[in-house]
Structure 1
Amino acid sequence: MEIRSITILPGHGKHQQQDQVERIHLNMGDIVSIVGPTGSGKSTFINDIALFACQNTPSQRTILINGEFPSDEYTSDPSKNPIAFITQHTNFLSDLPVHKFLEFHAKIRKTGETSSLVQEVLAFANQLTGEPIIIEHSMTELSGGQTRALLIADAVIIGNSPIILLDEIENAGIDRTKALELLRQYHKIFIFVTHDPRIALLSDFRLVMKHGAVQQVIHTHDEERKAVHEIKKLDDLLLELRSIVRRGEQVTSRYIHERLLTHGYAVVPGGVA
């Protein structure tokens, strides 16, 4: 069955307070972020989606696919499950080389010519990581960031999952802006759990969580999209400083001031203007 949309019917939070949105309807091509402080219910919300909740989880939410209750085969047959869930704590048990792992998955899915799919996945993943993935390395040798990048690329290209859930990819050192640019090329529903302002403001809209319940839905407006450019400059400076520290070099306030000036910020006593 072709997936066209997913709908989340409201439930309640930790203290029985109701979700403040009547229903949340996502269409193919939507990119959505779930935001809120630690413990606000972001993971519970995304787990409800992954489990096709039907008032059978603590939140009592209900998930509909194409406006209807999901088919039982989604949960009974993994090959027909339309959702891929990339969690924070994904580890590989397989010690296969990367290319063998991807080849086996492609053959199982029967999604096309194997070698070209493997190369497409690697090309996608290597645009997200600081250190390229070596296809001869075993899966268990990959870093956390490489693992997450490879799984995202695999879910998009080989798994071809129409709905992809991503839990705090910013913690894996992935290039977030590049990831969103790449993902927008695919007509899928992407749902991010994130604390990262760049991901949140590059999404089409965001769900704000508090005490386990949805408080509001905020659609990203033009001014917020413009603000992303300024956030990127500051974020890039932090990434640059991180690289300097990793190389064993020293950081000075003068260097930071010079870099800020390069990006057009005026450094004044006590702060940045």
Structure 2
Amino acid sequence: MPELSIQLLCNSRYFSGFSVISVTPLHGGLSQRLYQVQYRNDDELKSVVVRCIQDAQLAREEYELMQHAMDLAPRLRTIEDVDIDDGAFSIIVMDFIEGDLAKDCELSTLQLTTIATQLTRLHQSLPSCPIKRPSVNKLRLIDDYWQLIEQPSLQDVTRFNSAVALVNSLTFDNDALIHGDLNLSNLIVGSDSIIWLDWEYASVGDAYFDYATLVVEAPNRLEQAIITALQKAGNTVIDSKRLTRFKLYYALVSWLWCLGCMQRAKTQTPQLTAAFCKYQQAVDQLTADICASDNSL
């Protein structure tokens, strides 16, 4: 996909009547699919966020999922296809949200409660959701990622085999609408709201996947507070053993993804290196914790 530019945006219907001033990649996660666009409408300078997607059907599904999520997602302006160099991609234009990424915030108990309540509402909204993307085969995804790793080290092979042996027995309940990428880089904390970005992986799935993602991505000291908030919001009891194995699954998939990116990248960014180390440490620690727990029985 080409980089989004002022020239490309001027070819779109939405921006055709405006003077586009700047296009800035937003580095919330490890990819650059979101851009802040500043433009001038008469004498007023305005900002929006533009999401770029190559697949038109996936773009339309993501747009409708964000509409369904309502106040969890930014307010949507439009979706349209843009032709570039005999090719095409889709853009979703949405409000620019003033605030800080949750990963850069000291999240309060009230904010954790808000996130837990939002997540519970999303999970329970599956029956009314107009788009029901089927869940991918989660266990097969591990093998798919592993096949992309070139000449893994003996240590990586041992790490992979040990972790896979512990998650192969996982069952995935497809009874919730999950966000699928609940990284704290995808949550914007505003003055009076918390807005969720990057709905690319939203699908029918298991609520525990979102729980595990949130817990792994948050600082360790917040784990119990997050679990307490989730249990209260959902009026449920979270199975700690099941959650731990889902945490290992999420950490393993994320480690494999980072390992593959590092092998393919010509240069390794500090952000990618930090993420790789974080997930590798999580895989090792969770594998050790589960083995110790199993051995104590």
TM-score (norm 2): 0.27
TM-score (norm 1): 0.29
Bigger RCO (CA 8 Å, 6+ sep): 1
Higher helix content, 1 or 2: 2
